[in-house]
Structure 1
Amino acid sequence: MKKIYLLLLLAISAQLTFAQGIIWETDIETAFKKAKAANKLVFVECYLPTCPVCQSFEPILKSASVGSFYNKNFINFKLNGEKAEQVKFLNAKNIYLPNFPMFLFFDANGNLVHQAESGEAKEESVINVGKTVTDPEKRAVNYKKRYEAGERDLNFLIAYGFYSRVIRDTTTNLTIANAVYDSFPKNELNSPTSWAITKKIVQDLDNGFAQYWFEHISTAGQYEASGGHPDGEKNALGVILQTSLYSPRGQNYSSAKLNTIKGYMNKLGFGQYAEGATWQLESKALIKEGQSEKAFVIVNNFANKLLNNGAALVYLGSFVLDNTTDKTYLSYADKYLAQAKPLLKDNGQLAEYYYQSAKLQQRKGDATLARKELTEAKKYATLSKTDLKKFNELEAQLK
């Protein structure tokens, strides 16, 4: 009888083991150690506890069929996007997650070899993602090779554009996103598919999808509302604005283009942030375009809003010194630094103030006063344990 009970217990145990879902490791380091020992890839499901889509996948990831496939082929880890300690892993790998959930696959040495969206919350869909990864030729790490070999299927280009965004390869992303636009049927630009592609891969204002949707914001809003994300279009287009403005490309925008961008910000309801986001770029553009007087109207208007912020006024002084080549506008730097000085208490801020003051006196042609100011700058820099490199470089110029 005992033997029968034992056999029954073993049978039940085997059934439960077979029926379980994905087995998750408790920490990422253990996952990679086990992967190396077992010669497997590491599957990382990136999720947010508050994400409804992520929650919809929980029953799928606990299913027997998904568990059987993933436990056989991968070592698995769940990464909570709200836990800073776990997100450190992604930051160390220079990985950006535009949305959740996201499926990431790494080799045992921690190299990302594939990235994919989860697709539909269905067992078959999740298993198909895993099956793709088991074929080395289909992994995202090989997209570049496939593209260079001439592959131009639209779905492939979208996947490549998304992957390049996740790994923060902006140069590739811009190229591929433009290729997607070139391949996309222009009579379908107003479609939900067009909007979905824009949210997924576009990071540049000059991309054709971006230009279209900034002129059709209300339609994008309808698609977002129907998908249960009212005002989601503002966030998506706002990200494109932000990534464009604060990119190397943004440094070369013309004043006309920056005015267009301010118009977009107003359309999105972000008009109150337009001045703060664009004043430097617009001022630089106007100076390059030979319209310095207009540039300093903008700078001075911005300065008038910062009269109680000493550090910001010092920065404005440095902006004048760094972006002009003659003495015509040095009076602005003089004014901003004079306004800043009584507001500064921190040693690091005082070091920067005296450093900019030394540069100002150098520009005015008073090397003696410049050296005196620089001596004060180095004193406060030493007190604040600030790197002295730039202070020493200026000192060498003043000898």
Structure 2
Amino acid sequence: MATSTAVHLQNRVLLAKIHFSICYNLMKSTLFSLVFSLLLFPVFSQGIKFEEGTFPQLVNLARQQHKLLMVEVYLNGCPHCAALAPVLQEKKVGDFFNPAFVSTKIEANSAISKELQQQKGITYPEFPLLFFFDANGQLIHQASPAERPNREEFIREVIKHGNEALTPSLRTGNYAARYAKGERGSEFLVNYGKYAKATKDVARQTQIGADLAKLLTKPADMESANGFYIISRLLNDFQNPMAKHFFANLPKYQKYNTSENPKAVKDAAEAIIYNTLYGARTNSLKSSEVVAMREAMVRLGNPAKVVAPRTLLKELEAHFREKNTPAATARFNEYRRIATMDFLDYSYIVRLFNEKATDNSYAPALAGWVTDGAKLFNPGNANHTKDKLADLHNECSKAYLKIGKKSEAKKAVQEALNIAKAAKINTKPYTDQLAKCN
């Protein structure tokens, strides 16, 4: 009996050990899984919670939660965007942003990004960008988080921009008021310039560029990394003093061409030229300015015949404003010698001269343009229509009539009328012109 009891106790002890071993191993397994999960997935559980949806849906969600909407715009392949991504998933950043903002992220070339740009009238001056919108979907703040030397500083940088979005007096939407009160610090002007560029306020961007040029007047300052940043990102006027220094000293800026962006200097120069040609002063440019920009593009390594079409119309328009039709005529004749022309090019230019020229000195040359243009007419080209061919000859008639050559004018419009009749298109413009030639 004693032996049986001893055996029974031994068995119970053994079973208890087995049970403890199983429970302990299970506990270790569960604990390991939990620790492993925390180690493997902290990014997805602690940082900013990004929502998906259309812009109106996200604005509505933010309104319901009594929050602001934050939109991160990133660009695939952008190293600065890649550097920011893990910072946005830091616990400190999530703890700050999630209670105050509904957040989303969009790729710059995505369909939702294009819709956002169209709906809000914004563009992207650089990447990455943070846009902040209020409960009505109005843009109130914009920020460009700068990379910092270590993670803690980068976290503080991102949270700083969030704090600014929450503080009305610090928002970029309040910059106009601060500017009106006389604020002109360099950091303020740079941020305001980026905001003006993003919101397509061309005139304001031009003025801010002029203000920055008053602060950076020494060659060393203009040629510094900060100077090149301003030149490449914010200047939109070829006549800005910093831009003038830049174009006069292009070799000194070649150090900013990197493996990441081997055409940084060329891109910056062409952006300034393009924004000048089509910016706030586009209708008041002098012909000498346009010529200088054309020559600058050639110095950048672009072939003259590639550059010429980019500036031709702006040169002609400037000559017409200056009442210098002979110069406009000479420029187009020069252009014809180096450029590859199309029938439609001649069609447009001939009409432009008839409408904009301030004297009739171009008329004899125009007849030759019409002859050359008509030779390029291609019935197989869907854009080369018979009505445009007829119009080309009609414009020739108008030019001849301006200089009193009625017989030549009548012959040209008769050609137009014949084309129109054969093509069975409206002949009234040509019969009306024919009546003027009699």
Q: TM-score, normalised by structure 2?
A: 0.75
The range that moved more, 117-126 or 272-281, is 272-281
Q: Equivalent of 1:261, from 268, 293, 296?
A: 293
Q: Equivalent of 1:220, from 253, 261, 270?
A: 253
2:147 paired residue number = 120
2:16 paired residue number = none
Mapped to 1, the partners of 2:175 and 2:309 lie a distance apart of 39
2:397 paired residue number = 361
Mapped to 2, the partners of 1:25 and 1:191 lie a distance apart of 40
Mapped to 2, the partners of 1:93 and 1:378 lie a distance apart of 49
Match of 1:78, SS state, is strand
1:229 paired residue number = 261
Counterparts of 1:72-151 in structure 2 under 5 Å?
Answer: 72-120=99-147, 122-151=154-183
Q: Does 1:176 align with 2:212?
A: no
Compared CA separation, residues 268 and 347, structure 1 to 2 (3 A):
closer
Deviation per residue, 1:26-67 (Å, 9 max, x gap): 223331120121122111111112111111111111111112
1:40 paired residue number = 67
Q: Equivalent of 1:211, from 241, 244, 250?
A: 244
Counterparts of 1:253-332 in structure 2 under 5 Å?
Answer: 253-272=285-304, 273-287=306-320, 289=322, 292-304=325-337, 309-332=342-365
2:87 paired residue number = 60
Compared CA separation, residues 128 and 294, structure 1 to 2 (3 A):
same
Match of 1:24, SS state, is coil
Contact map agreement 2:145 2:158 (CA 8 A) in 1: yes
The range that moved more, 338-347 or 92-101, is 338-347
Mapped to 2, the partners of 1:363 and 1:262 lie a distance apart of 30
State the percentage of identical aligned residues. 25
1:388 paired residue number = none
Supply the AA of the counterpart residue of 2:190: I
Q: Count residues in correspondence.
A: 382
Supply the AA of the counterpart residue of 2:239: D
Q: Equivalent of 1:193, from 226, 240, 248?
A: 226
Mapped to 2, the partners of 1:240 and 1:92 lie a distance apart of 26
Deviation per residue, 1:226-278 (Å, 9 max, x gap): x8433311111110011112235244333332332233212322243331222
Deviation per residue, 1:169-193 (Å, 9 max, x gap): 0011111111122133536233222
The answer for unaligned runs of 5 or more in structure 1 is 384-390
Compared CA separation, residues 281 and 39, structure 1 to 2 (3 A):
same
2:272 paired residue number = 240
Contact map agreement 2:325 2:359 (CA 8 A) in 1: no
Mapped to 1, the partners of 2:356 and 2:421 lie a distance apart of 24
Mapped to 1, the partners of 2:372 and 2:140 lie a distance apart of 54
Mapped to 2, the partners of 1:380 and 1:123 lie a distance apart of 70
Compared CA separation, residues 138 and 278, structure 1 to 2 (3 A):
same
Q: CA RMSD in A?
A: 3.7
Contact map agreement 2:389 2:416 (CA 8 A) in 1: no
Mapped to 2, the partners of 1:85 and 1:341 lie a distance apart of 45
Contact map agreement 1:314 1:336 (CA 8 A) in 2: no
Match of 1:25, SS state, is coil
2:53 paired residue number = 27
Q: TM-score, normalised by structure 1?
A: 0.82
Mapped to 1, the partners of 2:298 and 2:186 lie a distance apart of 33
Mapped to 2, the partners of 1:375 and 1:131 lie a distance apart of 73
Supply the AA of the counterpart residue of 1:258: V
1:140 CA displacement? 0.8
1:199 CA displacement? 2.0
1:386 paired residue number = none
Contact map agreement 1:337 1:353 (CA 8 A) in 2: no
Bigger Rg, structure 1 or 2 = 2
